[in-house]
Amino acid sequence: MSSDLHIHTTASDGQYAPEKILSMARQAGLRYIAITDHDNVDGLRNLYEAGMLPGHGMRVIPGIEFSAQNTEHEVHILGYDIDIYDKNLSDSLNDIVEARWTRFSKMVENLRGLGYGITEADVLKIAGMSKAISRPHIARALVEKGLFPSVSAAFDAVLAKGRPAYEEHYRMEAADIIKCIKDAGGIPVLAHPKLIGDDILVERLLQLGMEGIEAFYPRHNAADVERYKALAEKYGILISGGSDFHGPSIREPLELGIFTIEDKYAEKFYREEDI
């Protein structure tokens, strides 16, 4: 059996609904999965309220992915085994989600200023019920309008940090995110450290009280995995990993179950009594 601790759904910028993710994961034979949507836990709440958690044999870890404030680097922090009804967590997430809406309007306006014929309605059609309106929704709308050949082409040209349509949005400080996750009973884990692009910053982030590091990740090579496993050892923290699956229209990996980790890592993040 194998596991995947980093999966997105339509509750944020993923392509498949939470229910669909559960059936795909079951089909792929996964044992432990974590749903880790950006800035919200709506997908998990809906599953729970529909009686679909616990996962009938498959072990579903309630998770979240935050983006931390940083002027230079993309710093993402995962939270595992959180209480999805924690009041303080909900309040913090609501502030972030609100800021995403303002930023979304600004980015659409920027694109129109650059001559791309796109409206908020075009993006909203794609975003559907997503709570966390995100750049991949905008990118998919641009692709659907025939303005770019792919989501990644749209990112490269206009949506990536530093590109002309990009806007910042309110993010919490890394230390506050770690506290918020811990206060909600969760385990804070530094996401895809290689993508941060600065291992000195990676260590500084670990020293803030991180309890795990995502050593296994599709874009980590064997040497990266070893380096981050060694950091886990150095700081006495857990090793995690996942595919960061969003769906084939958005980014690689193209299927659930292609990139997995061994259950012995995943089981450390699962506590039966949580859900």
Query: Which residues contribute to the site for ligand AMP (CB under 6 A)?
Result: 13, 38, 67, 134-136, 151-152, 155, 246, 250-251
Identify what 135 binds: Mn ion, ligand AMP, none; CB under 5 to 8 Å per kind: ligand AMP
Q: Helices (H) and strands (E) in the chain — how many of each? A: 11, 8
> Judged by CB, which is closer to ligand AMP: 96, or 210?
96
- Report in angstroms how near the CB of residue 161 gets to ligand AMP at its nearest: 8
Q: In 3-state terms, what secondary structure has residue 25?
A: helix
- Name which of 55 and 242 has its Cβ closer to Mn ion: 242
Q: 92: Cβ–Cβ under 8 A, 6 or more apart, which residues?
A: 172, 180
- Euclidean distance between CA atoms 66 and 81, whole angstroms: 14
User: What dihedral do alpha carbons 150, 148, 16, 60 form, nearest 10°?
Assistant: 60
Q: Which does 220 bind (CB under 5 to 8 A by kind): Mn ion, ligand AMP, none?
A: none
Q: Which does 107 bind (CB under 5 to 8 A by kind): Mn ion, ligand AMP, none?
A: none
Shortest separation between residue 57's beta carbon and Mn ion, angstroms: 25
Residue 260 tokens, joined: 């997995």
Q: 152 contacts which partner out of Mn ion, ligand AMP, none, CB within 5 to 8 A by kind? A: ligand AMP
State the nearest-atom distance from the C-beta of 23 to ligand AMP, in Å. 22
Residue of closest CB approach to ligand AMP: 134
In the complex, what is the shortest distance from the CB of residue 272 to ligand AMP, in angstroms, rounded to a whole number? 30
For residue 54, give the 3-state DSSP assignment.
Answer: coil
Beta carbon of residue 271, minimum distance to ligand AMP (angstroms, whole number):
26
Residues 183 and 89 sit within 8 Å (Cβ to Cβ):
yes
Show Cβ contacts of residue 230 under 8 Å, excluding neighbours closer than 6 positions: none
In the complex, which residues of this chain contact Mn ion (CB under 5 A)?
13, 65, 76, 191, 244
Query: In 3-state terms, what secondary structure has residue 65?
Result: strand
